[in-house]
Every structure is written in structure tokens, then in C-alpha cells.
Amino acid sequence: MKPIKIFTSRTVVMASTNIDTDQIIPGRFLTTTTKEGLGKQLFSDWRYNASGELNADFILNQPGSQGCRILVAGHNLGCGSSREHAPWALLDYGFLAVISTQIADIFRNNSLKNGLLPIVVDIKTHQWLIANPGAEIEVDLCSSSLKLPTGISVQFPIDSFPRYCLLNGVDELGFLLSKNPAISKFEEQSNIPLHNT
């Protein structure tokens, strides 16, 4: 995973609330056994029409959306299925961050673990972002803040551990593996009837 520190990009706005992970990537594409190439199927049912051509009305297909790395979505982004294919598809397509007023638990977790920054903002900032699609935003993970083109800076919440991992490109598995002695001790000492096969 590449470290994330600071980046600037224009936004794409998809204002619908409750965009679920079935929309981000439909179930029929989950028969893959790798993470690569899922960007092609991102938002597939909205992005393509029945004959498989790009649907010109869909926001990602419009000229202004090309090259945008930040997705601004409505409240409760990423609800539903736990499929990690959703952040994989967003990253493979080229997104680096998603912004909403609420991001579903599992999707947020999955995003953090892959270097897709899930950013939760207050309603006022969100309204501004929705009203100004294509705005050039600076995301600074060092200071956990967004800078809007108006000059206003907005802090966003992020737990210190995933933030540390993202800033340094550290993966959490390495950290967990380093706790091996504590895990072994737990296994020896725990008196819960752990497994009864």
C-alpha cells in the first residue's frame, strides 16, 4: 500500500443517500478471484445501458468527471453487503477518497484497509460540496483536514491507528503478527470453552 499524505483533486458528486455496495459493484461480478480490474464494473448498472454501452447521462461518464479522484456521496454511503470488491472497484477506477455525512461500518473499514480514504463531514460542508461539483479539494491526512477552494479548512475524524497506517503505508496485518506472543498467551490462559469439536 502506498502512503497517503496529501493530494488535490476535483470532486464528482453523487448525491443519492444510501448508495449500497450492490450499486458500487453488483453481485454478479464477485466471481473474480483477484482484486484487479474491478474498476471496469464500478457502478456497472448505472454506468452502462442494457447493450453495454456507456450511459451518457451517468455522472461518471460526463467529460467533467474524468480524472476526478474524490467522490462526494449522499448520507450513509456503502451500506449493505460486506464485499471488499466495492473499495477495490473504486480504487481501481481511480478514486482516492469518498466523502459523505455517514459511511457504513464495514465499507469504511474495508476502505481504510486498502488506502481509500473514507471522509465524514458535517452537514454544512456536505451541502457545500454537493452544491459545488467539480470543486478542487485538497485532502491532507497529516492534519486530517480538507481544504475547500473557498479557503475554508474542515477537520475530519479518523482513528489514530488507521491514520498512522495510511500515512506510513503500513499494513495492519504486520502489526497483528507482531502481537503473536500476546495471542499465544491468550490462547493458553483463556478459560472460555473455545472450541468443542
Q: Contact residues for other proteins (CB under 8 A)?
A: 15-18, 20, 22-23, 26-28, 30-35, 45, 50, 74-76, 79-84, 87, 102, 104-106, 109-110, 113-114, 159-161, 164, 172-173, 175-177, 179-180, 182-183, 186-187, 190, 192-197
List all residues 6 or more positions away from 31 whose beta carbon is below 8 Å from its beta carbon.
Answer: none
In angstroms, give the least distance from the CB of 115 to other proteins: 11
Instruction: Write the DSSP symbol of residue 120.
Output: E
User: How far from 79 is each of 22, 91, 98, 102, 124, CA to CA, in Å?
Assistant: 9, 18, 14, 10, 22
* Distance, CA of 25 to chain centre: 13
Q: How far is the CB of 21 from other proteins (least distance, A)?
A: 9
Q: Based on CB atoms, which residue is closest to other proteins, 22 or 138? A: 22
Check if the beta carbon of residue 59 is closer than 8 Å to that of residue 12: yes
Of 67 and 188, nearer to other proteins (C-beta) is 188
DSSP-based three-state secondary structure for 20: strand
CA atoms within a 13 Å half-sphere pointing along the CA-CB vector of 93: 29
Shortest distance, CB of residue 145 to other proteins, whole angstroms? 20
CB of 19 to other proteins, least distance (A): 10
Nearer to other proteins, 20 or 138 (CB): 20
Rounded to 10 deg, the angle between the 105-112 and 85-93 helix axes is 50
Nearest distance, CB of residue 171 and other proteins, angstroms: 8
Q: Is the dihedral of CA 94, 174, 118, 25 positive or negative?
A: positive
CB nearer to other proteins: give 9 or 87.
87
Nearer to other proteins, 9 or 110 (CB): 110
| Least separation in angstroms between CB 131 and other proteins | 14
Nearer to other proteins, 16 or 66 (CB): 16
Where b means 16+ CB within 10 Å and e means fewer, 174-183 reads eeeeeeeeee
